[in-house]
Amino acid sequence: MDILSSDNTGVIEQLRAVQGNPVRLLRTAHALLGNWLAVMSSFGAESALLLAFVAEAERTMKVLFLNTGKHFPQTLAYRRELADVLGLSNVEDIGPSSGQVSDRDPTGELWAFDPDACCNLRKVEPLNVASLPYEALVTGRKRGQAATRAAMDIVENRGDGQIRINPLAFWSAQDIAAEMQRRALPPHPLVAEGYLSIGCAPCTRPVGGHEDARSGRWSGLNKTECGIHVTG
């Protein structure tokens, strides 16, 4: 199909008509958008369920993994394991160029004194480039993860013209855990250590039972999002 025009109302309406069923939603999105559709995955604490839905809908769907260069080694191993277990055949690692990292973060400590700049370098800018060919991106975001996501819809028409599809937007952590167990999906190894939202190693800590899942991200800083899901 041709790349979508700025008026994507018809596509959004068709997606919203099936948004209650994650697999059907993903199949419909793939049928409508084909190669203009990609999935973003952190291969984090709850990623296995969305990726299982992707595999059930269409195993060849493009999956983008942001390899920031600061991940826990357990996340990199889990990325390989999940892709193998689910039979995902089109996972692409994206990230900053070595030249950009050398120029802007030569010591690897940018996260410690300017986390926004670090996220821009290692996440926002690489994804902006990698996502240019796509009219729609699928994410694993949920409303219950943080206050910044509490009003999120399953199908979003963003201000920049790109569609975001969030099949798990209304799923609770308990629902996801139960479905992952039912499907016998392997958990991220750090979940057992209290990491309920897993990002880069220097900026992620375990959380307590009274905290929301993302409170362990950029703990102690006035920061709750890396910027890849925010538009101006």
pLDDT digits (tens, 9 = 90+) for 15-69: 999 999 999 999 999 999 999 999 999 999 899 999 999 999 999 999 999 999 9
* Residues in contact with 10: Cβ distance below 8 Å, sequence separation at least 6, in sequence order: none
pLDDT at 159: 74
User: Average pLDDT, stretch 59-84?
Assistant: 97
pLDDT level of residue 173 (50, 70, 90 thresholds): confident
pLDDT tens string 114-163: 999 999 999 999 999 999 999 999 999 888 666 666 678 999 988 778 89
Q: How buried is 231 (Cβ within 10 angstroms: 0-12 exposed, 13-18 middle, 19+ buried)?
A: exposed
Residue 231: the pLDDT is: 46
Q: How many residues are listed for the chain in this entry? A: 232
> Per DSSP, what are the bridge partners of residue 164?
137, 156
Rounded Cα distance between 48 and 79, Å, is: 10
What are the structural domains of the chain? 9-188 (3.40.50.620)
What torsion do the CA atoms of 199, 177, 82, 34 make, to the nearest 10 degrees?
A: -90
pLDDT of residue 224: 64
Active site residues: 226
Per-residue pLDDT at 149: 66
Q: Is 186 helix (H, G, I), strand (E, B) or coil?
A: coil
Give the pair of three-digit tokens for residue 132.
Answer: 């240019």
In terms of pLDDT, which residue wins out, 1 or 67?
A: 67
Q: pTM for this one?
A: 0.88
For residue 67, what are its two tokens?
A: 């390899």
Residue 2 — very low, low, confident or very high, per pLDDT cuts 50/70/90?
A: very low
Quote the CA–CA distance of 29 and 111 in Å, as a whole number.
36
Helix, strand and coil in the chain, % to nearest 5: 45, 10, 45
